[in-house]
Amino acid sequence: MSELTCAVTINPPDAIRIGTVGTAVDAAELRLAEDGELLARGPLVMKGYRGEPEKPAEGIDPDGWLHTGDIATIDADGYVRIVDRKKKLMINAAGKNMSPANIEGTIKVACPLVGSAVAIGDDRPYVVALLTLDPDAGAAFAHTHELTDSSPAALASNPAVRDAVQAGVSDANRRLARVEQVKRFEILPVVWEPGGDKITPTMKIRRRPIAGKYAAEINALYAR
């Protein structure tokens, strides 16, 4: 962060932990707020914004802690793992905070057939997901199972594909907290290409357009 004049954590070359952003640099002190937001303090925290003397109060509290906007975890050895951006968290009907990116990433790791995953749960009683199939994995699945039609539409409606995806989602649910677990999902008969109106060129989900276009599918998942 520029507000931290560069990096606040680093993975030691002789003790790298994949999946983390490392431990605090010598000049930094880190802790988590009650909601899981990563806070940083120390001489590397900026003095303020040029020409905007009032603005630092928006992100730096009276005790000098900079609120980074990242939701994170810190393990017993001080290694920080970034979960998601605070503003991207979804809050279910019971007021529980969840990271959609964490849920989506867990599904994709557990189920190689899934190309894109979108977790939905804001103001809802439980989490559901919209899924698309990975074209290469789908083609390989079709070849292995001797399916004559490997188009996204045909695979999305195929019972064998559905069973394989269900097994992957169930595996992902075992790795997620109970409140994060996906109760229902829909396999969409399409492929989302990077740079389109669903996925950015850097493979980030465009949540608002997806929620609008697939409102009927989402409502159906909750209506069942």
Q: Which pLDDT does position 107 carry in this prediction? A: 96
β-partners of residue 120 are: 128
Instruction: Provide the b/e sequence for 66-90 (b: ≥16 CB within 10 Å).
Output: bbbebbbebeeeebbebbbebeebb
Return the pLDDT at 60: 87
- Residue 83 has a pLDDT of 84
Strand partners, 117: 131
pLDDT of residue 143: 94
Would the pTM of this model clear 0.85, i.e. be above it?
A: no
User: Can you give the pLDDT at residue 154?
Assistant: 95
Predicted local distance difference test score (pLDDT) of residue 132? 96
Q: In Å, how far from its chain's centre is CA 138?
A: 23
Selection from 160, 153, 215, 216 nearest residue 187 by Cα: 153
Query: Residue-wise pLDDT tens for the chain (224 aa)?
Result: 888 988 899 999 999 999 999 999 998 999 999 888 999 999 999 888 888 877 766 688 889 999 998 889 999 999 999 988 887 788 888 888 888 988 999 999 999 999 999 999 999 999 999 999 999 999 999 999 999 999 999 999 999 999 999 999 999 999 999 999 999 999 999 999 888 889 888 888 888 899 999 999 999 999 97
Instruction: Locate the domains of the chain by residue range.
Output: 2-88, 90-223
Asked if residues 93 and 120 have their Cβ atoms less than 8 Å apart, the reply is: no
How is residue 59 written in tokens? Answer: 């992100």
Amino acid in position 214? Y
**CATH number for the domain formed by residue range(s) 90-223:** 3.30.300.30
Which CATH number does the domain 2-88 belong to among 2.30.38.10, 1.10.287.980, 1.10.150.120, 2.40.70.10? 2.30.38.10
Are 175 and 106 in contact by the 8 Å Cβ rule? The answer is: yes
